[in-house]
Structures are given as structure tokens and as C-alpha cells.
Amino acid sequence: MSFRNKLASWLGLSKRSDYVNKYFYMTNMKASIYMSVVVISLELWMIIRMIRTIFEKNLQDKIESLIESYFSNYFLLFSAGVLMLLFAVRALYNVRKTRWISVLVIAMCSAVAVFEITMLSKYSESSKDSADLFNYIILLLSSLIMIVFSVILIIGRSEKEWHSLFVMYVFSFCCINFGIIMSVHSFEKGDQILTFLTMELFVICLLVWRPWLGFLVLSASYAVFYYRLSGIVDISTVARVDGIIDLNTAEIGLGDGIKINGFTMWLSTLLLCISNYNKTMSQAVKDEDLEKMNSHLSDISVHDELTGIHNMVHFRGEAEKLLSYVTTDRSNSVFLFMDIENFKSYNGKYGFTEGNELLIKVARIIREQFKGSLVSRFSDDHFVVMTTLDDCKEKVAEVSRQIHELQREVHLELKCGAYKPSDDETDPSAACDRARFACNSIKKRYNTSFQMYDKTLEEKFRLKQYIVNNIDTAIANDYIKVFYQPIVDTATGCICGLEALARWKDPTYGLLPPGMFIDTLEEYRQIHKLDQCIIEIVCRDYSAAAANGECFVPVSLNFSRLDFELYDVPGFLEKMIGKYKMPRKYIDVEITESALTDQNDLLSNTVEKLRNAGYKVWLDDFGSGYSSLNVLKDYQFDVLKIDMKFLSGFGSNNKAAPILKNIVDLTRQLKMISLTEGVETQEQYEFLRSIGCEKVQGYLFSKPCPKEELNEKILSGKLSVAEEYITAAK
């Protein structure tokens, strides 16, 4: 801040914000309450005292005393105090009932006005000086102004801020004027000028003035006061006071002592005024900053920072209110959950900035289409709307059309799930979950962008809820089973490994395949519970086989991408093999290709850690995703499991064979072992053997089955185990 600006702000010349102005206004109104209460009490006391003394005199003296006792000053100041109090209370607490008290102000001010008019009319006959004339006019004007404002208060419905401020100025003026009149009178009688000083301190220090205005008010009042004093100084009167009269009064006019004291007093009051102003100012600025911060915080707590539409918190609160209103037509309400398919790819291709711009545009489109409805962004590319059922499908179609227009090379597709709340539904979260479930059910379904939540979905949804809520019970009650599927060595035709595949044997739902619970457990980040359970069962099975002298072949375990985030996989494996005394070579780690699509340091470090520890790491489902070859470039694996999709067209699609051959060749060149899954026919098996695929897995040999069933197959000779594992068991 430049020196000029600093000076301007110090003197109160700089522009203030509305907040700071309001802060000063409220501070002054509060101070006005204290001031007016003190003034009212004092003046009331003075008036009572005055009336008592007057009543003790005879009529002639009574009238003279009345004039002599400055009753109009007391009345006026008392009225100003009352009026100020009424306005301040009105400004601070919005109390309007008390406004009738201003009738009292009107009455008193009218009396003062009449008296001043009488005095003015008599003025030419009397021998008073010009100061009195000035007084009469000031008192008359003040009383008239107060009458006007009392009327405004009584009839006015729209009192403005400036009304209260104006009353405050009038009140301050009356206080100072009263101080001057009383102190001039006291000085005349040789008394102290305390009233003037008190009033100055009162007005300048209790209220907060802009320093330049404070300076003007102070200087003007001091100037008037000294002018009045210098006009009335009379040595003979003053001489009665004390011996140091010479210092205080000179032969002519005021003495240096009074001037010096007066100047010191003026200066001190002015400095107090400036300091008061600056203190209030800094407090106001601090409060304003705090207020801004709070309003920003409360704003971002209900708004989505990126798109500016409401966020999930606000949506949930408002939707809950809407659901609780009896006036809400539930039969015509619907929750829509929208998701933009391929948004991730768009983000990946064009970067976050462009991705964010797309989201802002989508938010705008949705808001436009669903004007008047509850629209929000929950997260990423997920938007939720609570609207009416009528034409929601058409609106979604329009949003979808406009989103298509935004797409570039990456195909964008809107997916929307809709859920109609039941009559007694009050929880918006449950409604949103169902709409989302409906939305997810049409993912990857080309050209379908709208799905109503129906009975079939309800059943699936319930199963999903059941899985999330019961995974712990299922583990504790041994509902989780391991089915083993043999892996066959093409060189010998013998089992050289087993894949451990999870099954959930549920008392209510029966035998659940992993396709029914893996995705849900991953979505709710519970998958590690299942995988840890599978690892332990496999280790236990090894330990039992070892104890019984049975043969055991290496088992490959499936890991989800989340496992590597949710727990220390190498650490857990170490703990398990330690507990069950299982050699590391009996465990292989399968990581599905889709888990490795982007470069992930944590995952690549863990893969290395596992390989260094002595585990074999397999790449599962190779060729099922979009970036299979990149995965091969970025990570090192021991075994490449070729996805069963490559075999599905075998026989009918003549491209399948050369593709498979090339993958097997590539695997060899990259020094990995190839394994093809999904082998169902002898023809497929023969082909794979002919191209040098080292291992195979599929229904041709065995479906996944419990270990007892597998043992029976081995005992019956249907399957044979590689020699090395039979000898290892011996």
C-alpha cells in the first residue's frame, strides 16, 4: 500500500466496503444505545431536580427560573436521547412496537419549539446577545427535525439506515451543544467546564467517526466553545475561582493556560477518535475476511467446485426434504443417475483440463434440460437429478444427443438409470443407489442410454446388498469355498498346477459363482477379505495334504488390483506360508491384465517384490483389454495366460489360429511360459500343443471343482499328476 493510500485510510478517506460500512453502522448503533441510556437518565434526573427547585419558588420566580434553568436544553437532550434509543433499538433488534414512545418526543420537542419561537419573538425586546439568538434557532431547528423523525418512526414502514444515522448526528449535535451551553454557563459562574468535556468525550470516543469527520466535529465544537467563552470572560467573575487566575485568564479574553489545556484536550480527543476508528476498522476488516471465508466455505460445502451446480451433500439434504413434504407427488417423482461412458478415455486422451471442460458443459446441458429440478454432480462424471417422471425420458434423450455433439475421437455415451421412489420412501441415498444400479446395468450396452429400475434389477440389487452385508459372515461360517481347476502341461498331458477359484456356498442363494460377487466386493472395497480367505484355505489345504503324504501341485491365486492397495500382499503371503509351512514355489500370483492398464508404481513395485521373493507372477486374461502389449512392455511376468476369447472363434474364424500362434511365439521371445485358458475340445488342445503352447486349462480336462472331487478324478485315473509332484509328496 502506498503512503498516500495509507494516509487516506488512516484519515478515513478511503472507500469502505458495504460490509465495513454496515459494521460501523452497527457499532455506532450499539454505542448509541449506551449513550442514550446515560443521557436519558441524567436528563431525567436534571429535569426532576429542576422541577423540584421551581416548585419551591413563587410564580414570578418560577417563570424566571424556568427560563434561567435552561429547561428547553434538558428537554431537548432528553428527547434526543429517547429518539436515538428508539432508532438504535429498531436498527439493531428490529423492534417496532416501541415506536409509539416517540409521541413523547413529539410532545416535548413541540414544547421546546413553542418556547423557542416565543423567545425568538421576544428577542428584539430583550437585551440578550447574539449567542442566545443562535441558541434559540439551533434548539428550534433541532426540535423540529426531531419531530419529523419521530413522525417517520411512527408512520414509516421503511426506515432507512440513513434515518438512524441522521438521528445519531442530531443526537451528537444536541449533546455537544448542550455541553457548550452548560459549560459556558458554568464558566460564567466560575465553575468547571466539565459538561462540555464530558459531552465531547461521549460523542467523539463512544461513537466511531471517520477521522476527518471527527476532526471537523471536534474542531468546530472547540472553536464555538472558545469563541463563546472568550465573549463572556469577565475577570471579576473568574477571579472568584482561584489564585492562579492569571494563568487561566488574561486581562482580555482567555488565558494561555486554558488555551494550552484546551488544545491538549482537543488533541487527546482527536487521537482517541483516530485510534478508535482504526481499531474498529481493523476489526471490521478481520470480520469481513472471516465472513467471506465462511461464506466461501458454506458455498463450497453445497456446490460442486468444478461445475458450479450443487453437490451430493446439498442434493441429499434437499431431496430428503422434498420426500418428506406431503405436497410432493411421489408417484410422479424420479431419481436419475447419469454417467458418461468412456469419460475416462476422454480424460486420458485429452488431459484433465479438457476433461474438466467437458464436465462443465455436461453440467450446463443437464441443468438446462432439468430447469427447476434438483440437479447435482456426485463425483467424477456422475450426475444425479430429482425430477418429475412426465417427460424425463425425452429430456435424458436430449441430454444424450447434446453429449454426442460434444464428442471428438473418443465416443461418448450417456447412461442414465432411473428410480421411482415408493410411497413411503424417505431416504434419498437408497433411491440414488438404485438409480445408479440401473445405470450400471446398461454399461457397455451400445445404444441404450436409459434404464428404469425394475423388478429384475431389484432382485440383482438385493443380492448385491446381501453380498456387501454378508461377506464377513460368509467367511466366518465357511461359506467361502475354493474350487480347483487343473492346469495341464502339454508336453506330458499331466497336471502341473491348479487355479484356485472362489465359490460362495450360501444357505439362501445356493452356490454363487465369482461373477456374482467379485465385482460387488471390488466396488465396495471388500475384495481383500475374500482373497485373504482364499489364500488361507489354499495354504491349509496344502498343509493337510502334506500331513497326509498326498501330492500337491502349485496353485495359482487370483488377485484383484485393489488387493495391492488394501493390504501388503507379499507380507500376507509370507505370513500364511510361514504359518502353514508351505514352500513358496507352490504359490503363483495371477494378476488380471485389466488391473495393469495404466502405469502404477505401487503395482509394478509389488510385482517385482513378489518375483524377487520367489513367487511366480502370471498375467491373467492376456488380450482381453485394450492395452495388452503395453502391459507386456511395462511389467515382467513368468507366465502369460492367454484369454479364452481367442479360442472362442477357433474352427469358425480362421484368424484365431495365426493370432494364437503369434502370441505363443511372442511369449517365448519374451522368455515367458504360455498358458491358454478355455480349452474345451481335443482339436483346440492338439493345435495348442502343435504351436508350442506349454500349458493349457479348460473344461476339456476338468471344470473347477472341490479338492475331494479333484482327488477322485486323479485316483480314478481320469487326470494324472506330473511325476515331480508325486515324488515330492513321497
Contact positions toward Mg ion, by CB under 5 A? 558, 590, 620-621
Spatial strand order of the sheet with 382-388 comes to 310-311, 374-379, 382-388, 333-341, 413-419, 450-452
Q: Which one, of 374, 453, 365, lies nearest residue 407 by Cα?
A: 365
Q: Which one, of 226, 202, 210, lies nearest residue 42 by Cα?
A: 202
User: At its nearest, how many Å lie between ligand C2E and the CB of residue 458?
Assistant: 24
Work out which of 493, 514, 570, 625 binds ligand C2E, going by CB under 6 A: 514
For the CA atoms of 161, 162, 163, 167, what is the dihedral angle to 10 degrees? 110
> Which one of Mg ion, ligand C2E, none interacts with residue 514, CB within 5 to 8 A by kind?
ligand C2E
Work out which of 558, 628, 667, 676 binds ligand C2E, going by CB under 6 A: 558
Pairing mode of beta strands 480-489, 695-697? antiparallel
> Which one of ligand C2E, Mg ion, none interacts with residue 172, CB within 5 to 8 A by kind?
none
For ligand C2E, the closer of residues 211 and 698 by Cβ is: 698
**Interaction pattern, residues 578-607, with ligand C2E; x per rule: CB under 6 A:** --------------x---------------
Work out which of 341, 381, 588, 620 binds ligand C2E, going by CB under 6 A: 620
Cβ partners under 8 Å of residue 574, min gap 6: 613
Say whether residue 536 binds ligand C2E (CB under 6 A). no
Pairing mode of beta strands 382-388, 480-489? unpaired
Interface stretch with ligand C2E, choices 158-166, 258-266, 526-534, 567-575 (CB under 6 A): 526-534
Quick one: DSSP state of residue 422? P
The answer to whether residues 574 and 568 touch, using CB atoms and an 8 Å cutoff, is no
For Mg ion, the closer of residues 195 and 558 by Cβ is: 558
User: At its nearest, how many Å lie between Mg ion and the CB of residue 677?
Assistant: 5
Query: Which long-range contacts link 398-403 to residues 24+ away (Cβ below 8 Å)?
Result: 398/369, 399/338, 399/362, 399/365, 399/366, 399/369, 400/449, 402/365, 403/340, 403/362, 403/365
> Which one of ligand C2E, Mg ion, none interacts with residue 531, CB within 5 to 8 A by kind?
ligand C2E
Burial 644-672 (b: 16+ CB within 10 A, else e): bebbeebeeeeebbeebbebbeebeeeeb
User: At its nearest, how many Å lie between Mg ion and the CB of residue 412?
Assistant: 30
User: At its nearest, how many Å lie between ligand C2E and the CB of residue 564?
Assistant: 11
> Which one of Mg ion, ligand C2E, none interacts with residue 438, CB within 5 to 8 A by kind?
none
User: At its nearest, how many Å lie between ligand C2E and the CB of residue 567?
Assistant: 13
* Coil, helix or strand at residue 506: strand
Nine-digit cell string for 729: 509328496
User: At its nearest, how many Å lie between ligand C2E and the CB of residue 451?
Assistant: 25
Pairing mode of beta strands 495-506, 510-512? antiparallel
Question: Distance between CA atoms of 518 and 498, rounded to whole angstroms?
Answer: 20
Question: Distance between CA atoms of 197 and 200, rounded to whole angstroms?
Answer: 5
Work out which of 102, 269, 532, 560 binds ligand C2E, going by CB under 6 A: 560
Interface stretch with ligand C2E, choices 427-435, 451-459, 681-689, 697-705 (CB under 6 A): 697-705
Work out which of 269, 310, 698, 714 binds ligand C2E, going by CB under 6 A: 698
> Which one of Mg ion, ligand C2E, none interacts with residue 190, CB within 5 to 8 A by kind?
none
Nine-digit cell string for 321: 426434504
* Residue matched to cell numbers 441430454: 399
> Which one of Mg ion, ligand C2E, none interacts with residue 538, CB within 5 to 8 A by kind?
none
For ligand C2E, the closer of residues 249 and 697 by Cβ is: 697
Residues 363-392 that bind ligand C2E (CB under 6 A): none
Say whether residue 513 binds ligand C2E (CB under 6 A). yes
Question: Distance between CA atoms of 442 and 455, rounded to whole angstroms?
Answer: 15
Say whether residue 649 binds ligand C2E (CB under 6 A). no
Pairing mode of beta strands 413-419, 333-341? antiparallel
State which amino acid sits at residue 434. R
First to last CA, the chain: 89
Say whether residue 507 binds ligand C2E (CB under 6 A). no
Pairing mode of beta strands 382-388, 374-379? antiparallel
User: Within 10 A of 21 (CB to CB), how many other CB atoms are there?
Assistant: 13
Interface stretch with ligand C2E, choices 10-18, 79-87, 415-423, 673-681 (CB under 6 A): 673-681
User: At its nearest, how many Å lie between ligand C2E and the CB of residue 667?
Assistant: 17
For the CA atoms of 593, 595, 600, 604, what is the dihedral angle to 10 degrees? -60
The radius of gyration computed from the CA coordinates of the chain, to the nearest angstrom, equals: 46
The answer to whether residues 204 and 215 touch, using CB atoms and an 8 Å cutoff, is no
Nine-digit cell string for 71: 429547561
Work out which of 135, 276, 333, 485 binds ligand C2E, going by CB under 6 A: 485
Say whether residue 502 binds ligand C2E (CB under 6 A). yes
For Mg ion, the closer of residues 200 and 620 by Cβ is: 620
Residues 402-421 that bind ligand C2E (CB under 6 A): none
Work out which of 193, 323, 496, 501 binds ligand C2E, going by CB under 6 A: 501
* Coil, helix or strand at residue 679: coil
Work out which of 339, 531, 536, 588 binds ligand C2E, going by CB under 6 A: 531
> Which one of Mg ion, ligand C2E, none interacts with residue 541, CB within 5 to 8 A by kind?
none
Question: Distance between CA atoms of 341 and 277, rounded to whole angstroms?
Answer: 60
Say whether residue 678 binds ligand C2E (CB under 6 A). yes
For ligand C2E, the closer of residues 12 and 678 by Cβ is: 678
Residues 212-271 that bind ligand C2E (CB under 6 A): none
Interface stretch with ligand C2E, choices 85-93, 383-391, 693-701, 707-715 (CB under 6 A): 693-701
Work out which of 211, 214, 355, 704 binds ligand C2E, going by CB under 6 A: 704
For ligand C2E, the binding residues (CB under 6 A) are: 485, 501-502, 513-515, 518, 527, 531, 534, 558-560, 592, 620-621, 644, 677-680, 697-699, 704
